[in-house]
Amino acid sequence: MYTTTHIQNLFGVSYETVRTYTREFKAYMSPTATPPQGEHRKYTYDDLKVFAQIVSMKSERKVYADIHVALAAGERAEIPEFTETEIEELALSRRGVIVAQELYAAKEMIAEMGAKIIQLEQQAPAMRDEIAAMKGQLELYRSQFVQMMAELRKTYAEGFEAGMDFGRGIAAKPPKPD
């Protein structure tokens, strides 16, 4: 039998999450996982498989209704990385708690990165078109900028040749009338 602490450590979830999942999915748990009030919860190895299914589906952003359908259909996730004895030892050792949490976090990160890669791959063709359009727009703006600079230089040169003093500008005071 396993305790709430075992579940927490194995799946990297909080005490409250264990309680919430146990209450929500009690139809798929053993009677010892949902004892009468005042008694401690005790989980079986089959309950661990239920939790593995719940945690896996939640990491895929599935809602409770989807999880209920899967569990009612008999779906259970395996826990191939650990034997029952290893789970017991892992949950009891301090370092094991940290390793279990790190493994769970890494597994979630891998799933999130995989989903993000798929999303980006699906967006890639549209992004290529958008990038090409932006490059074309950039070249147009650069060309316009070069033309404007040439016109400004030409205007400045013409004004200089005509004897205009650009240094005074608008702020310069006009000469006083006699």
- What does the pLDDT look like over 159-169, one tens digit per residue? 766 665 555 54
Q: Assign residue 86 the CATH number of its domain.
A: 1.10.1660
Q: Say whether both 81 and 12 belong to one domain.
A: yes
Q: Say whether both 18 and 78 belong to one domain.
A: yes
* Phi-psi sector, 163: left (phi>0), alpha (psi -120 to 50), beta: left
DSSP bridge partners of 43: 2
pTM: 0.48
**Which domain covers residue 143, as residue numbers?**
111-162
Q: Which two tokens stand for residue 27?
A: 């139809």
Q: Say whether both 50 and 124 belong to one domain.
A: no
Q: 3-state class of 2 per DSSP?
A: strand
Q: Say whether both 9 and 80 belong to one domain.
A: yes
Q: Say whether both 72 and 121 belong to one domain.
A: no
pLDDT in tens, 94-150: 556 666 677 777 778 888 888 888 888 888 888 888 888 888 888 988 888 888 888
> How many CB atoms are located within 10 Å of the residue 55 CB?
22
Lowest mean pLDDT among 15-19, 30-34, 39-43, 116-120: 116-120
Q: What is the pLDDT of residue 113?
A: 85
In angstroms, the CA 135 to CA 120 distance is 20
pLDDT in tens, 38-55: 888 999 989 999 999 999
pLDDT in tens, 54-96: 999 999 999 999 999 999 999 999 875 665 666 666 555 555 6
Q: Say whether both 132 and 70 belong to one domain.
A: no
Count of structural domains within the chain: 2
